[in-house]
Amino acid sequence: MKSIKLIALDMDGTLLNRDLEVSRANREAIHLAQQKGVHVVLSTGRFIASTREYARSLRLTSYLVTSNGAEVWDASGKLWHRRALSSELVEWMYRMGEQYRTRVWGATAERVWDGGAIPGSVHDHKWLKFGFDTEKDDVRNTIWKKLVETGELEVSNSTPTNIEVNAKGVSKAAALETVCRQLNFSMDDVLAVGDSLNDVAMIRSAGIGVAMGNAQERVREAADWVTVTNEEDGVATAIHRWVLGTR
């Protein structure tokens, strides 16, 4: 069995169940992995504040990858890495959201913004991530195509109905490579687990990439192995299979 030194876990749809809780089985598996000296890193599209709350509840002592890799934090709360979007591109995306009448949202270095008028000027903020959400497939596909055509953005999703946008070069995989350099690990030492398109890069880059049983099809295709769903303790199953060797 491959020796895993770091476990990278997506949160929503992966570590968390539908009630946004970490199950007892997942908690116990994470604790056992940490007892073996394995680093456990939350690698999420979430903003740092909510990510840190879960990290504390799990007593994690390693790095946090947030906003799809736009930021990397250490356990002490120190910011190690940040890469923001161009405010000009954010303004363009905001106008596109108005044009197509979609819900738009974003995360700045200071706060999460969920639709409505942008507080102050768009240029007053460091934008980590911008997003669109629509049930209309044709609108979503059109927006996706326009975003990709800029050649200046990373485009992914965290649910089938949304679009998540980061600066070019930003991904969970790139952020995990930064973490691995700090720890003197390689990506071959990593077990990465996720369910959505913003997880594909880290799943492909990791030594072992695991898709959740509830993952989108493209994520399952990218993975080395598919575990059970987030409602069935899929993270615990993967940790026991690939790290603890107990299943």
> What does the pLDDT look like over 184-242, one tens digit per residue?
999 999 999 999 999 999 999 999 999 999 999 999 999 999 999 999 999 999 999 99
- Locate CATH 3.40.50.1000 in the chain: 6-82+171-244
- Residue 14 has a pLDDT of 99
Catalytic residue among 10, 195, 199, 233: 10
The third-level CATH classification (topology) of the domain covering 87-167 is 3.30.1240
pLDDT digits (tens, 9 = 90+) for 126-140: 999 999 999 999 999
Q: Is the pLDDT of residue 123 over 70?
A: yes
Half-sphere exposure at residue 15, Cβ-oriented, CA atoms within 13 angstroms: 24
CA-based torsion, 223, 20, 110, 178: positive or negative: negative
**What is the DSSP code string of 37-92?**
T-EEEEE-SS-HHHHHHHHHHTT--S-EEEGGGTEEE-TTS-EEEE-PBPHHHHHH
What is the rounded average pLDDT for all residues in the chain?
96
Which uninterrupted H or E stretch holds 204? helix 200-205
Helix (H, G, I), strand (E, B) or coil at 190: strand
119 or 123, greater pLDDT: 123
Identify whether 124 is a catalytic site residue: no
DSSP state of 236: H
- Locate CATH 3.30.1240.10 in the chain: 87-167
- Residue 1 has a pLDDT of 66
CATH of the domain spanning 6-82+171-244, picked from 3.40.50.1000, 3.40.228.10, 3.10.105.10, 3.40.630.40: 3.40.50.1000
For the chain, percent of residues with pLDDT exceeding 90: 91
- Of 155, 158, 156, 192, the C-alpha closest to 173 is 192
pLDDT digits (tens, 9 = 90+) for 96-118: 999 999 999 999 999 888 877 77
